[in-house]
């Protein structure tokens, strides 16, 4: 959920904070994390506040008993070997009682020459549950952080709050595999659809405003070079 408070009478409104609390306490969602999307803002002419250079992205999940398992399948010396790792890893699965949430941080992590490998001898767990790892470093995929650095949208479509396709692309690559289904209940200008096409996923979505549906179709046609076909709902 990408939403930021407006300013009223010189101060930020609290409705987003209240919504987050309601999502958890009233509607039963699990508040997984808050990510920061950095984007250059307009200077503005405000007397008592700074210009906006970020937007929050709130991550919710419908599960309540998560257990994380990390497993790396590494190829080398003509054979495969399995290792438990912290910063160098392949797939990470979040398991819960109701459903399984898939998590693929390697898909959005960056390559690094200074990744520490986890072993029972060099790992220590703190009171908060965080694991610290010491020892030599090696090449691998570094764990992605919760700050997303993306430029704002540069495409020219008539939508008041259009975000770049790179934003949903980050989450699509993080939580799905090629051929998986992605659903966007608020399609807007179709950024999720474009990101799904780019990453070889299937995208379903809904949009109430007819003018935005036209933008979605035109944007998809421009990106794919194909012609959209209206299907009979019956």
* DSSP state string for 141-190: EEPP-SEEE-PPP-S--S-TT---THHHHHHHHHH--TT-EEEES--TTT
- pLDDT bin (cut points 50, 70, 90) of residue 20 is very high
Domain edges within the chain: 1-61, 67-142, 150-234
Q: Beta strands 202-205 and 11-12: pairing type? A: unpaired
Q: What is the pLDDT of residue 182?
A: 92
Angle at 139 between CA 133 and CA 141, to 5 degrees: 75
CA 167, CA 78: separation in Å to the nearest integer?
38
What are the structure tokens assigned to 200, written together?
């070889």
pLDDT digit string, tens, across residues 7-19: 888 788 899 999 9
Minimum mean pLDDT range among 3-17, 36-50, 157-171: 36-50
- pLDDT bin (cut points 50, 70, 90) of residue 85 is very low
Q: Beta strands 30-38 and 147-149: pairing type? A: parallel
Instruction: Say which DSSP state 20 is in.
Output: H
Rg of the Cα atoms in the chain = 21
**DSSP per-residue letters across 112-141:** EEEEEPP-TTTEEE-TTS-EEE-S-EEEEE
What are the structure tokens assigned to 34, written together?
């808050």
C-alpha of 6 from chain center:
23
Kindly provide the b/e burial profile for residues 124-135, where b requires at least 16 CB atoms within 10 angstroms of the residue's own CB. eeeeeeeeebee
Residue-averaged pLDDT of the chain: 73
List the beta bridge partners of residue 94.
68, 101
**Residue 211: strand, helix, or coil:** helix
Q: Is the pTM of this model over 0.85?
A: no
Q: Is the pLDDT of residue 82 over 90?
A: no
Q: What is the pLDDT of residue 74?
A: 33
Angle at 109 between CA 103 and CA 111, to 5 degrees: 145
- pLDDT bin (cut points 50, 70, 90) of residue 4 is confident
> What CA–CA distances, in Å, run from 68 to 63, 93, 98?
13, 6, 15
Q: Is the pLDDT of residue 199 over 90?
A: yes
Phi, psi of 50, rounded to the nearest 5 degrees: -90, 165
| The CATH classification of domain 150-234, taken from the options 3.40.50.150, 3.90.480.20, 1.10.150.310, 3.20.20.70 | 3.40.50.150
């Amino acid at each position: 959920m990408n939403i930021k408070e407006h300013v009223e009478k010189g101060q930020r409104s609290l409705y987003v904070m209240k919504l987050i609390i309601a999502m958890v306490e009233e509607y039963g969602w699990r508040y997984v994390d808050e990510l920061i999307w950095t984007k250059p803002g307009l200077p503005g002419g405000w007397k008592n506040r700074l210009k906006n250079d970020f937007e929050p992205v709130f991550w919710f999940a419908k599960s309540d008993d998560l257990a994380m398992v990390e497993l790396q399948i590494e190829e080398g010396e003509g054979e495969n070997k399995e290792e438990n790792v912290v910063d160098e890893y392949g797939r990470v699965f979040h398991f819960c009682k109701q459903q399984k949430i898939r998590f693929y941080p390697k898909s959005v992590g960056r390559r690094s020459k200074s990744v520490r490998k986890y072993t029972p001898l060099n790992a220590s767990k703190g009171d908060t549950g965080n694991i610290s790892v010491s020892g030599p470093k090696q090449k691998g995929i570094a764990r992605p952080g919760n700050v997303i650095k993306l430029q704002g949208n540069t495409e020219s479509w008539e939508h008041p709050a259009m975000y770049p396709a790179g934003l949903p692309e980050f989450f699509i690559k993080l939580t799905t595999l090629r051929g998986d289904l992605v659903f966007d209940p608020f399609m807007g200008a179709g950024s999720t659809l474009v990101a799904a096409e780019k990453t070889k996923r299937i995208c379903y979505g809904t949009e109430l405003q007819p003018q935005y549906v036209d933008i979605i179709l035109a944007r998809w046609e421009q990106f794919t070079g194909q012609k959209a076909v209206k299907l009979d709902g019956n």
